A = this chain, B = another copy of it.
Amino acid sequence: MSTPLRVTIWNEFRHETKNPAVQAIYPDGIHHTISQALQTQAAAAGSAIALRTATLDEPNHGLSEEILADTDVLFWWGHCAHGAVADSTVDLVQRHVLEGMGLVVLHSGHFSKIFRRLLGTNCSLKWREKAEKERLWVIEPSHPICQGLGEYIELPHTEMYGERFDIPTPDELLFISWFAGGEVFRSGCTWRRGHGKIFYFRPGHETYPIYHNGEIQRVLYNAAHWARPSMRKKDVCPNSPELEPLPKPPASFGSAGIVQSAKDIQ
């Protein structure tokens, strides 16, 4: 077996501790359900995976320099407590993504600090909770994230997210959702930031059993593999020596190569 894919699943884990309807669906938390799903998918594929979870109310939100350095791909689920995530944790995660760590942002994570930080936009959208039908059309069936799917994924009861979704144009648009109530949404989008790969995937919500759906689980598994980095690389901004011999600048430039007088104004 090859080197295991190291995945850390971060979950806000607040709804599950307070709301019996949510507990009924995710008794051990959304992170636990996703972790089990990835384990099952990896076992079926005969592929090694090393799973870890982290939640908001653990010390440092369950994340650290050591854990992220040991993480290939981080999943992120949050909803009602985005503001409770410390800015220092957002800084830490951003740095690791820019250095190469993959990031999979789920559903209401569109409003998380880390997603907005990496994209630079508001990431706002339309929404509605009416248990309506969603059909996710596969736009790029040959993309690694879409392997094993048919023409679409159908979810009988979901929260609606509608356009305009305030995001930078995705590098790749993999899914567009149709909703019974009349809206559409760019539900699967990829971006590169620094050396890291980011995938946003719309389906989910604490009050719908979306993460129990086998096709959704397949997308999450595919995304984890797709986002795996080929390398990690620290940021630098070096003063670089010349690679080709440079002529001596005119006398009005000093020895440091910068202007010493106004004589050179064109």
Interface residues of A (CB under 8 A from B): 21, 24-25, 94, 98, 100, 111, 117-122, 124-132, 135, 137-144, 147, 151, 157, 160, 162-164, 166, 168-169, 171-173, 176-184, 186, 191-195, 207-209, 212-214, 229-231, 233, 235-244, 246-247, 249-250, 253-254, 256-262, 264-266
Contacts and interface: CB of A to CB of B under 8 A. Distances in A.
Copies of this chain in its oligomeric complex: 4
Contacts of A130: 242, 246, 249, 257
B265 A212 contact: yes
A157 B127 contact: no
A132 B258 CA distance: 10
11 contacts: A21-B261, A117-B120, A122-B235, A128-B240, A128-B242, A131-B259, A137-B162, A137-B183, A141-B231, A147-B231, A178-B179
A141 B144 CA distance: 21
Contacts of A184: 137, 176-178, 184
Given A171-B171, A235-B166, A258 B180 contact: no
B237 A135 contact: no
User: Which residue among A147, A192, A259 has the maximum number of chain B CB atoms within 10 Å of its CB?
Assistant: A259
Q: Which 6 A-B pairs have the closest CB atoms?
A: A182-B243, A181-B242, A131-B249, A24-B262, A124-B237, A207-B258
A231 B157 CA distance: 31
A141 B195 contact: yes
A119 B246 CA distance: 34
Contact of A127 (B194, B239, B247): B239
A242 B182 contact: yes
A70 to B, nearest CB: 18
A98 B121 CA distance: 7
Given A182-B178, A235-B124, A237-B124, A195 B142 contact: yes
